[in-house]
Amino acid sequence: MVSNDPIEWRVSDAPQDYPAALAAMEARASAIFESRAPEQVWLLEHPPLYTGGTSADPVELLDPRFPVYAAGRGGRYTYHGPGQRIGYVMLNLAHRGHDVRLYVHAIESWVIAALGELGVEAWRAPGRIGIWTQDAGREAKIGAIGVRVRRWVTLHGFSVNVDPDLSHFAGIVPCGIAEYPVTSLAKLGNPASLSGLDTALRGHFDAFLALLAGAQTTG
C-alpha cells in the first residue's frame, strides 16, 4: 500500500550548499524508510560545482574550476549551478512497485512532459542518458537524470537547464557524452523561469505517480 501521508513539496529560493543538501536528503530518506517523515520532492539550485557519480571517469574532469563532490548517485560528471532547477525526489519504492528501471523511466517522462508544457519538445535518446531537445538543428542535452536507491527509498533525481551559465559545463565532459552540446531554455529563446518550470512539474506529478502505480498493479 502507498502511504496516505501527503508527499511534501519543498522549494528553496537561495542556492543550497551541496554537502548540507546531501546530508539533508540522506536524513530525509532514512526518515522515510523508518516511517518518521513523508516522502518529499525538493526543488532547489546549487552554487557552481561539479559532482561525480559512481561511474565518473577522472579524465572527464577537464577543468576543476569549481568544487568537485562525490555524489553517490549513478552516472558520471555533471554540473550544477544557479539557473538550473534540481529536483531531489525521495519516494519509497517499497510502496510503489519495487521497479527501479520504471522509476527512472517515469522521471524522464515527467520532465519531458513538463518541458512540453513550456513549449519545448524533448525526448529520450537511445544509448544516451538524459533529456534531449533540438538546438539550432542539432540534438542537445537540456536535462540530466541521476538517481540512487537505498533500502528502496530514492535519492537524487534530475536537473533541468533553465538559464545557467552554459560555459561552466566546459570544465567536464557532461555525463561522459562529448559529441553533443548542452543547451537551456534561455538559449532556446524560451522565457520560462524556475518557478514556471516548478509549476509545470507540479502539474504533471500525478501522471508521474500513476506510472509508478502501474508497477504495483502489474508487478
Query: Which residue out of 106, 160, 175, 215 is catalytically annotated?
Result: 175
Structure-block grid coordinates of residue 172? 567536464
CA within 13 Å, CB half, 185: 25
CA distance 101 to 96: 12
Q: Confirm whether 207 is a catalytic residue.
A: no
Q: CB under 8 Å to 18, separation ≥6 — which residues?
A: 46, 47, 49, 51, 67, 69, 80
Per-residue CA distances from 50 to 71, 85, 104, 121, 147 (Å)? 9, 15, 22, 27, 16
Q: Percentage helix, strand, coil, to 5, in the chain?
A: 35, 30, 35
CA distance 188 to 184: 6
Closest to 122 (Cα-Cα) out of 99, 145, 100: 145
Task: Tell me phi and psi for residue 196, to 5 degrees.
Answer: -65, -40
Instruction: Residue count of the chain, please give it.
Output: 219
Q: Which residues are annotated as catalytic?
A: 175
